[in-house]
Amino acid sequence: MQRLSPETLSTLPDHVKRPGYDRSQLKAGIVHLGIGAFHRGHQAVVNDAAMASSGDLRWGIVGVSLRSPDTRDALQAQSGLYTVSVLDVDEEGAPAEHLQVVGGLLKVLVASEDITAVLEQIAHEDTRIVSLTVTEKGYNREPATGALRTGDAEIVHDLAHANAPRSALGVIVRSLDLRRQRGLPPVTLLSCDNLPSNGDTLRGLVLALAEQIDPALASWISAQCSFPNAMVDRIVPRTTDADRARISEALGVEDAWPVVGESFLEWVVEDHFVAGRPDWHLGGARFVESAEPFERLKLRFVNAPQSTLAYLGASSGIETNNKVIAHAPFRRFVDRMMREEIAPTLGTIPGVDLDGFRARLLARVANPALPHRTQQVAMDGTQKIPQRLLGTIADRLRANQPITCLSLAVAAWIHYLRGGDAGVTGYSINDPLAAELAQRIADGDRQAAELSNPADAERCRVAVFTAYTALFGDLGRAPRFIDAVARHTRTLRELGVDETVSSLMTEQE
Ligand code: CS2
């Protein structure tokens, strides 16, 4: 089979959408750090639509992989072209797939192979925006406070070798230094990761690192560059070999790394761009003065239910989130958690009807055409749980409100870390702090072994675990929180996930 490439574009079937502009005229206005599936199925799609509608072609994208050459190796032979497959079900419930070839990605650089090329690309005069999807752990931050983890191995390295950085933060700081030294204009740094106030967070981390390298540089960045906050939303699971084969077959040419996603797409961005920006609103983005309410909605009302379903599912041996939510007790549980415990913490969000949003989210997760692996969503819990679940719990405890369902979500995570239900095998914990988590669980078990009353022993296990302040902050010492979680971890271990959730739902009816 021939490869997808500029030469084979004209051979694609008519139903495949193609770039609606002249690729040869593109300039590289955007450098994107973390060129994984999410960016390619989200920002790059909006950017393509905006360039096609506006004719402003200054916004081609140079992708950067910080470590792995995989994406570059797959896309180089395709001159950066790749397919986005939108997978939904039609009105009769049959899977429906729409294919689009995205053209805005010019090339992919691999920082671990050639850091100079990456730094020079950001320090190029055409670059106006540096955007990021490096996932939560790519920010080298303390999960509870968001502060720079100065003891982190990557940060220690970047402080010692500021000219050859490894972390995304180090790359940004060094390349901004080159821009400043060369008298080039500042750029906008745009985080597109699922973090609270992601732009402000990125700004704080970049400045903290820059300050230690050169305070004058920190002042320049602070005065010149902008860091808009943004809410991003689209379910984009990891591409499978079956996706590759099906999509290549439909194209009639091989695409080595297409991206699959749902039709739903949201991007709410604060309009603070110091060096101009594409007309992304022409591709479906919304520009606002403050993205904070939307980010909160996203983390608490989209990501928290997804994580909860993933922990319930992964620890009871269910492979994908659409299958987890197809199980009625799990669906009713998550619906109730959203309605009774999360929605009241969200306040009023302009233009958003929370009941409609909840129903739509449940339908999005249930999409049978788009299986999202529970283990994929379950990974990196330490980096996700604080903003997805713990903030909501802390708000509710402050207001003296029940946390029955939310504490079960946290307990399900702990149950997952302990290996899940009896008989569920074959997974390992994928988390940058996995060793610390395992140590806490072992310490809790050792201390609990000294207690004869099973309820006291369980409480002790949970208290030792949640005393991990870098993760839980003060919440981890709150007796109401510890009691609520311990009640559930005990039943999860004794009865398993299904019975715990089912009996909770019956009990509350
Ligand atoms: C998911 C997200 O993997 C995960 O942690 O919760 O990738 C989620 O699908 C997206 O944020 C949806 O916008």
pLDDT higher than threshold 60 for residue 318: yes
CATH of the domain at 449: 1.10.1040.10
pLDDT tens for each residue of 361-412: 999 999 999 999 999 999 999 999 999 999 999 999 999 999 999 999 999 9
Q: Domain check: are 269 and 321 in the same one?
A: no
Which protein residue has the closest C-alpha to ligand 1 atom 3? 377
pLDDT for 362: 98
Instruction: Give residue 214's region: left, alpha or beta (phi > 0; psi -120 to 50).
Output: beta
**Is the Cβ–Cβ distance between 381 and 136 less than 8 Å?**
no
Measure 178 CA to ligand 1 centroid, in angstroms: 34
Per the domain annotation, does 503 fall within a domain? yes
pLDDT tens for each residue of 271-289: 999 999 999 999 999 999 9
Q: Which ligand 1 atom is nearest residue 372's CA?
A: 9
**266-270 and 230-233 strand pairing:** antiparallel
In short, whether 233's Cβ falls inside 6 Å of ligand 1 is yes
Q: Domain check: are 207 and 329 in the same one?
A: no
Dihedral sign for Cα atoms in the order 241, 242, 244, 248: positive
Q: How confident is the model at residue 91 (pLDDT cuts 50, 70, 90)?
A: confident
Whole-model pTM? Answer: 0.97
Q: Which of 288, 311, 344 is the last residue of a domain?
A: 288
Q: What is the DSSP string of 83-151?
A: EEEEEEE-TTS-EEEEEEEE--EEEEEETTT-HHHHHHHHTSTT--EEEE---GGGG-B-TTT--B-TT
Measure 234 CA to ligand 1 centroid, in angstroms: 7
Q: Domain check: are 304 and 429 in the same one?
A: yes
Per the domain annotation, does 358 fall within a domain? yes
Q: Which ligand 1 atom is nearest residue 376's CA?
A: 3
In short, whether 133's Cβ falls inside 6 Å of ligand 1 is no
Q: Domain check: are 300 and 284 in the same one?
A: no
Which protein residue has the closest C-alpha to ligand 1 atom 13? 233
Q: Domain check: are 358 and 217 in the same one?
A: no
Which protein residue has the closest C-alpha to ligand 1 atom 5? 377
In short, whether 194's Cβ falls inside 6 Å of ligand 1 is yes
Task: Round to whole Å and give the CA distance between 341 and 207.
Answer: 36
Q: Domain check: are 284 and 313 in the same one?
A: no
Measure 74 CA to ligand 1 centroid, in angstroms: 24
Measure 495 CA to ligand 1 centroid, in angstroms: 29
Per the domain annotation, does 2 fall within a domain? no
Q: Where are the beta strands (DSSP E) in 244-351?
A: 259-261, 266-270, 286-288
Mutate to test the pocket of ligand 1, among 135, 306, 311, 361 (most ligand atoms within 8 A of CB): 306
pLDDT tens for each residue of 169-217: 999 999 999 999 999 999 999 999 999 999 999 999 999 999 999 999 9
Three-class secondary structure of residue 217 per DSSP: helix
In short, whether 47's Cβ falls inside 6 Å of ligand 1 is no
Task: Round to whole Å and give the CA distance between 142 and 301.
Answer: 23
Task: Round to whole Å and give the CA distance between 368 and 358.
Answer: 18
Q: Domain check: are 57 and 184 in the same one?
A: yes
Non-local (6+) Cβ contacts of 350 within 8 A are 293
Q: How confident is the model at residue 508 (pLDDT cuts 50, 70, 90)?
A: low
pLDDT tens for each residue of 232-262: 999 999 999 999 999 999 999 999 999 999 9
Q: Domain check: are 130 and 275 in the same one?
A: yes
Q: Which ligand 1 atom is nearest residue 302's CA?
A: 12
Q: Domain check: are 227 and 310 in the same one?
A: no
Measure 372 CA to ligand 1 centroid, in angstroms: 9
Per the domain annotation, does 3 fall within a domain? no
CATH of the domain at 19: 3.40.50.720
Measure 305 CA to ligand 1 centroid, in angstroms: 10
**Is the Cβ–Cβ distance between 312 and 330 less than 8 Å?**
yes
DSSP assignment, residue 226?
A: B
Mutate to test the pocket of ligand 1, among 377, 385, 430 (most ligand atoms within 8 A of CB): 377
Token pair 């001159």 in the structure block, residue: 79
CA 505 to chain CA centroid, Å, is 30
In short, whether 376's Cβ falls inside 6 Å of ligand 1 is yes
Per the domain annotation, does 455 fall within a domain? yes
Residues above pLDDT 90, as percent of the chain: 97
Which protein residue has the closest C-alpha to ligand 1 atom 6? 303
Measure 298 CA to ligand 1 centroid, in angstroms: 10
Q: Domain check: are 435 and 502 in the same one?
A: yes
Q: Which of 233, 263, 288 is the last residue of a domain?
A: 288
Domain housing 447: 292-508
**Is the Cβ–Cβ distance between 205 and 150 less than 8 Å?**
no
In short, whether 377's Cβ falls inside 6 Å of ligand 1 is yes
In short, whether 235's Cβ falls inside 6 Å of ligand 1 is yes
Per the domain annotation, does 365 fall within a domain? yes
335-347 mean pLDDT: 97
Q: What is the average pLDDT value for the chain, to the nearest integer?
A: 97
Q: How many domains does the chain have?
A: 2
Instruction: Enumerate the β-bridge partners of residue 97.
Output: 87
DSSP assignment, residue 76?
A: H
Tell me the one-letter amino acid at 111: A
Measure 304 CA to ligand 1 centroid, in angstroms: 9
Tell me the one-letter amino acid at 181: Q
Tell me, letter by letter, the H, E, C secondary structure of 37-72.
Answer: HHHHHCHHHHHHHHHHHHCCCCCEEEEEECCCCHHH
Q: Which ligand 1 atom is nearest residue 232's CA?
A: 13
Q: How confident is the model at residue 424 (pLDDT cuts 50, 70, 90)?
A: very high
* H-helix or E-strand spanning residue 444: helix 434-448
Measure 70 CA to ligand 1 centroid, in angstroms: 21
Long-range contacts of 496-500 (CB under 8 A, 24+ apart): 496/316, 496/421, 496/422, 497/312, 497/315, 497/316, 497/412, 497/415, 497/420, 497/421, 498/316, 498/327, 498/329, 500/408
pLDDT higher than threshold 90 for residue 444: yes
Which protein residue has the closest C-alpha to ligand 1 atom 9? 235
Mutate to test the pocket of ligand 1, among 303, 370, 372, 416 (most ligand atoms within 8 A of CB): 303
Q: Domain check: are 299 and 284 in the same one?
A: no
Q: Which of 288, 305, 335 is the last residue of a domain?
A: 288
Q: Domain check: are 235 and 296 in the same one?
A: no
pLDDT for 509: 53
In short, whether 387's Cβ falls inside 6 Å of ligand 1 is no
pLDDT for 507: 75
